[in-house]
């Protein structure tokens, strides 16, 4: 019995000795495969780190370029204020031009009336009376029911200045829709 048991052990040792190089070769192959996989993973980690750094840079740039809602509101408020100032300046300039044109037209009208008056033998008003009124003022469109006194009270102007500025021969004959220059009026 001893010899058969030895034979079995001998056979098992021989088989084991023959499979040992195969197992070692298999282990070496497994280690080589793992090393290759580890290299691939290291490359992938480097690639992800580069992409992460690039995204951080983009995020930082976007953060600097991002406008807050408060900044946007402030910018809009400044733009609106600038627009209002430009409109006010334009309005003032336009009113000045209109006043200048009205003064020129008034002088031309007065010259024509004086010429007609001389041709018809009518005496011109005394110097200083018809020309005695402030040169700056506003335009006013006569409303239904307005009288010269009501207009003077509404605008803060003197009735005589309105008469002189508009060369009103009969102040009681103003009509709704008529545009009057109100010297010094508001």
Task: Choose between 41 and 71: higher pLDDT.
Answer: 41
The DSSP 8-state label assigned to residue 66 in this structure reads: P
Q: List the domain range (segments joined by +) for residue 23.
A: 1-51
Question: What percent of the chain shows pLDDT beyond 70?
Answer: 80
Average pLDDT over every residue of 170-175: 88
- Domain count of the chain? 2
Domain-located, residue 149: yes
What's 172's domain CATH number?
3.10.350.10
Mean pLDDT across the chain: 82
CB 146 within 8 A of CB 140: no
Cα distance between residue 25 and residue 31, in whole Å: 10
Within a domain: residue 127?
Answer: no
The yes-or-no verdict on residue 123 having pLDDT over 90 is no
d(CA 73, CA 77) in angstroms, rounded, equals 6
**What CA–CA distances, in Å, run from 37 to 30, 32, 49, 87?**
10, 9, 18, 73
Report if residue 67 sits inside a domain.
Answer: no
Q: Tell me: pLDDT of 124 over 60.
A: no
Share of the chain above pLDDT 90, in %: 34
What's the pTM?
Answer: 0.32
């Amino acid at each position: 019995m001893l010899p058969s048991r030895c034979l079995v052990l001998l056979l098992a040792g021989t088989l084991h000795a023959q499979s040992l190089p195969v197992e070692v070769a298999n282990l070496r192959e497994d280690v080589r495969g793992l090393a290759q996989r580890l290299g691939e993973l290291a490359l992938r980690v480097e690639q992800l780190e580069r992409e992460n750094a690039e995204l951080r840079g983009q995020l930082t740039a976007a953060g600097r370029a991002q406008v807050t809602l408060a900044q946007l509101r402030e910018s809009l408020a400044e733009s609106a204020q600038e627009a209002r100032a430009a409109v006010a300046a334009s309005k003032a300039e336009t009113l000045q031009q209109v006043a200048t044109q009205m003064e020129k037209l008034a002088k031309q009208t007065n010259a024509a009336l004086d010429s007609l008056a001389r041709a018809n033998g009518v005496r011109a008003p005394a110097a200083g009376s018809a020309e005695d009124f402030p040169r700056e003022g506003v335009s006013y469109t006569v409303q239904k029911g307005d009288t010269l006194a009501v207009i003077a009270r509404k605008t803060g102007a003197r009735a005589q200045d309105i008469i002189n500025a508009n060369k009103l021969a009969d102040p009681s004959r103003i009509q709704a829709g008529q545009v009057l220059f109100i010297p010094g009026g508001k």
